[in-house]
Amino acid sequence: MRFNAYQKNGPLVFFTQRIFISQGYMNYSHTIAATKKTAYTLYKKQE
């Protein structure tokens, strides 16, 4: 799943992407459009 965030009546500010991978893990990335810098986080499903 990808989510985009725009300024009101303006350009893309950032986008996030969630990818569900094996065994209950989710890879989450957050990219700032202006700098093209991305941060990654790996989440494990809580039991």
pLDDT band at 14 (very low <50, low <70, confident <90, very high): very high
pTM of the model: 0.73
- Rounded distance between C-alpha atoms, residue 24 and residue 18, angstroms: 13
With b for 16 or more beta-carbon neighbours within 10 A and e for fewer, the 11-40 pattern comes to eeebbeeeeeeeeeeeeeeebeeeeeeeee
Phi and psi at 23, nearest 5°, equal 55, 40
Q: Which residue has the tokens 């986080």?
A: 41
- 5 pLDDT higher than 90: yes
Please give the structure tokens belonging to residue 12: 């893309």
Q: Tell me what the mean pLDDT of segment 22-31 comes to.
A: 91
